[in-house]
Structure 1
Amino acid sequence: MRPATRTPHPTRTALRRQLLRRKPVVAFLADAETPADGGGLRRTVGTFQLTMIGIGATIGTGIFFALNAAVPEAGPAVTLSFVIGAVAAALTALCYAELASAVPVSGSSYSYAYATLGEFAAYAVGWCLLLEYAVSGAAIAVSWGQYLNDLTQRLFGFQMPAAISAPPGAGGYLNLPGVVLVVLCCVLLVRGAKESAVVNTVMVLLKLAVLGLFVVLGVTGFHSANLHPFAPMGMAGIGAAASTIFFSFIGLDAVSTAGEEVRNPRRTLPRAIICALLVVTAVYVLVALVGVGAQPWTAFAGQEAGLSTILAKVTGAGWPGVVLSAGAVLSIVSVTLVVLYGQTRILYSMSRDGLLPAAFHRIDRRTGTPVLGTVIVGGFVALLAAVFPLDLLTDLTSLGTLAAFTVVSIGVIILRRRAPGLDRGFKVPGYPVVPLLSVLFCGYLLYGLQMSTYIMFACWLAAALAVYLLYSRHHSRLHNELPDVEGEVKETAPGVSS
């Protein structure tokens, strides 16, 4: 007698298919070229401006102060730590470049996950990105008041009261400069992507000029004796500094959020990602080499405004401090602008797929930008910057970022298997070794995070799951499609398939 076979519960089967259904690349491309609502983002950004977006999002205030934390860990060998960090970032950047050329749409790793891993995985990645962009944007905006105070003090001998300029929890009550910065960036973003890209390009070029000035002046005080001993802490110190430095490379993924506003995206996106990585790496290594050559490595610990102090020692003048402070202020503005830009485009993609309310993907006919979505994002980030102490959320941002990086690397492997004939403007060299190494390196960095970070992250994902079950799965554009095979749905209309 044959044993009775167990019939899967229909509700469980339906839910599982909802979680695993995928949106094919052709549907993404159809959405980008012929939006269902008749409007869409405008392709106005070229390779140079897109590269500047990547550089602007990556070179933040970190390089102005990162040496103070990294040099005591590695000594003069911190230059090797920057190279190691660059190699690790390059592994993920190459994966981003391939997926960006194959799926040249807005949404970054959210869109890539939707095409490869399924709806809920994409939804979770989207929430990781929202966490990364919102919290990091607010944290950056919070620090603007401090750097602005430093600049006004050097120029005019005036500072704003700490109560309205210092971070909440550190002597401040309402961080007014942070709110003003977010509002100004939102006003610029509402005017249009082209205008925002032009302003960002100008600020990035000025920021690079400031760092270039540091290299040119600092090298005049270079002494080879300061490079000995080169690696006082050994390989362990170099590795520890590399982990600290790696997060100075976070931001390259912002390039992939502009997929639908870029001309010739299959070529432009990978070129911009790789060019941004090369420029960022060159700047970091040069600044680090000049820094450790201009003063003994033991002098970096506890040093405030390290680059300014080094130039003051080399030149014997006070004006370099003004220039470096101005560079830090510009750096924060450009990073905040790009972070807000990236978040609005991720929300735009998720909303267009029905996973979030329609308000986030409504495009203004005159400006070609998601005005209402930008205002909502700006209000939320401004609120965080104004009243919330964000120190405890730094690791949480890192976890969300690394989770997104891991998904992108896995997505390259999956898409190669499922769509080997897909038109790709760029292919990862050394496949599948490079994406696997990227996954391993992200796993290594994830392993080093504290347990409390994972608990907060689990709460964040629990909130994402609740919203998905109560709203998103019922409003998904794939919801009414008939199942074909598990994890897929039969295409019945242009741009609405999986």
Structure 2
Amino acid sequence: MIPTTSKAQEISLSRVLRLPSAVLFGLAYMIPLTVFTTFGIVNQLTEGHIISSYIVTLVAMLFTAASYAKMARAFPVAGSAYTYTRKTLGGHVGFMSGWTLLLDYLMMPMITYLVIGIYMEASFPAIPQAVWIVLSMVVVTGLNILGIKLISKTSSILLAVQAVFLIVFAVMALRAASGNPMPSIVDMLIGQGPGVAVIFSGAAILCLSFLGFDAVSALAEETVDARRIVPKAIILVTLIGGLLFIVISLLANLVFPDWTAYSSVDTAALDVTRAAGGPFLEAFFTAAYIAGCFGAVLASQTTVSRILFSMGRDGVLPRRVFGYVHPKFRTPAYAIVIVGAIGLIALVMDLTLASSLISFGALAAFSMVNLSVIKHYFIKNGQRRGMDLLRYLVAPLLGLALCVWLWTSLSAVAFAVGIGWMLAGLAYLATMTRGFRQSPPELDLADD
């Protein structure tokens, strides 16, 4: 049943984003400099073959991004994977997809706050990491409540700071690397590597770097002409971000090829930038990286609050809290505050585990979106002839296979915690639906 106009307006968001803003939002969410968040961890794991892992991840993400684009065209509303699976695979599966996706999205602001704390404490040792985490959470939460337009402008400015750094880094890294023996590109990609399994383990962790293309889909109800703009933005963000990650990783390995010599795998970027441009570039990197982290956490907290809003509006989470929209700013204020509070887990969480947990939630949700394409287009709509067979069956099946392979390549600890999260969601769903005898509640909205 479609609600009255007054009811729809009461729970609607403000449509202000166009294609450039949507792409910049997705790239800001990714943080072009996020390559350095897990650079040391993955480069050491893969024995210097992080580029191979990034190529595997990019291929997998392009297939999945294409599936997101198709579903965003079919269902241009907030909710991302939760909405797509709910509309195609049913309320129970939709809830579990949304629940699993929450592990990814709730951890994303948290890991960004953690990284801000790590690097700020490294720059200002007299101020504890915890102070930086709490301070950044308060600022970001306040900006989120004030509205999506302000967030979009702020994210674009912070993205520009990162772009300037990347240009300077590229020039200085190439100049510094010119004095080193030039390694073979084949050796950097394959060489005496640790094997395919380890490359995929690294690729599984790197999935968190790509969490930006799917974030764009969660802003469908704040985008002008969402059916046309959101699918384009999803593909552009994935491709641009992936190529940037590969180029930055290549430059970093050229200027600092010894992956065994990092002072700390968590802050390997400081070793790389110091080798490329000395104290100046190290300080510039810290400033640009922190700016990028603020842009990313603004975007990530925006995205997860919209997913919580969508689930609250449907009634699968308490509607009075998560379905609430601030009357002045037209933002899901309560959901934003809750996400900010959850971000304080950064005070006790380990960076490696947090990275793996994010990838666990993301890959599980990505798998379900690939299945949703097959169900909606190939099975339900009967689009099976000619190129449709490739678009709506073969491509999403490949995306699904790659996501499942990466998913099962995560660490045992991450897998155990992730499965525990899913079981908790299943128990909540069973309680809410009286032993799965009822469908989870849903609120259908008129589409503009």
Deviations 1:195-216 (A, max 9, x none): 1111111112212221222112
Cα deviation for residue 298 of structure 1 reads 5.0
The whole-number CA distance in structure 2 between the counterparts of 1:395 and 1:102 is: 31
The whole-number CA distance in structure 2 between the counterparts of 1:72 and 1:375 is: 37
Could you tell me which of 98, 103, 120 is aligned with 2:70?
98
Deviations 1:100-124 (A, max 9, x none): 1111110000000111111111111
1:284 counterpart residue number: 245
Larger radius of gyration: 1
**Structure-to-structure mapping, 1:12-23, within 5 angstroms:** none
Cα deviation for residue 190 of structure 1 reads 0.8
C-alpha change, 1:148 and 1:463, in structure 2 (3 Å) is same
What TM-score comes out, normalization by structure 1 length?
A: 0.78
Q: 1:68 and 2:40 equivalent?
A: yes
Q: Secondary structure at the match of 2:224?
A: coil
Deviations 1:26-65 (A, max 9, x none): x8xx679985463410101111111122112223664125
The whole-number CA distance in structure 2 between the counterparts of 1:49 and 1:261 is: 11
1:88 counterpart residue number: 60
2:172 counterpart residue number: 217
Q: 1:186 and 2:141 equivalent?
A: yes
Which ranges in structure 1 are unaligned for 5 or more consecutive residues? 1-26, 154-158, 166-174, 482-492
C-alpha change, 1:364 and 1:428, in structure 2 (3 Å) is farther
C-alpha change, 1:296 and 1:371, in structure 2 (3 Å) is closer
Aligned partners of 1:211 and 1:283 also within 8 Å = no
C-alpha change, 1:56 and 1:468, in structure 2 (3 Å) is same
Report the aligned-residue RMSD: 3.2
Residue identity opposite 1:142 in structure 2: L
The whole-number CA distance in structure 1 between the counterparts of 2:369 and 2:271 is: 40
**Structure-to-structure mapping, 1:266-277, within 5 angstroms:** 266-277=227-238
1:406 counterpart residue number: 367
Could you tell me which of 309, 318, 321 is aligned with 2:279?
318
Cα deviation for residue 477 of structure 1 reads 11
Could you tell me which of 19, 37, 48 is aligned with 1:47?
19
State how many pairs are aligned.
Answer: 433
1:160 counterpart residue number: 126
**Structure 1 range deviating more: 99-108 or 429-438:** 429-438
C-alpha change, 1:288 and 1:479, in structure 2 (3 Å) is closer
Q: 1:416 and 2:377 equivalent?
A: yes
Aligned partners of 2:57 and 2:203 also within 8 Å = yes
Deviations 1:355-386 (A, max 9, x none): 1111212222321111222223323333x234
Q: 1:226 and 2:182 equivalent?
A: yes
Q: Secondary structure at the match of 1:227?
A: coil
Q: 1:122 and 2:94 equivalent?
A: yes
Q: Secondary structure at the match of 1:277?
A: helix
The whole-number CA distance in structure 2 between the counterparts of 1:250 and 1:54 is: 8
The whole-number CA distance in structure 2 between the counterparts of 1:430 and 1:186 is: 40
The whole-number CA distance in structure 1 between the counterparts of 2:104 and 2:226 is: 24
The whole-number CA distance in structure 2 between the counterparts of 1:272 and 1:363 is: 26
2:431 counterpart residue number: 470
Q: Secondary structure at the match of 2:182?
A: helix
Q: Which has the higher helix share?
A: 2
The whole-number CA distance in structure 1 between the counterparts of 2:280 and 2:389 is: 45
The whole-number CA distance in structure 2 between the counterparts of 1:288 and 1:296 is: 11
C-alpha change, 1:428 and 1:245, in structure 2 (3 Å) is farther
Cα deviation for residue 131 of structure 1 reads 1.4
Cα deviation for residue 350 of structure 1 reads 0.9
C-alpha change, 1:216 and 1:430, in structure 2 (3 Å) is farther
The whole-number CA distance in structure 2 between the counterparts of 1:288 and 1:391 is: 19
Residue identity opposite 2:55 in structure 1: V
Q: 1:177 and 2:132 equivalent?
A: yes
Sequence identity (%): 25
Residue identity opposite 2:274 in structure 1: A
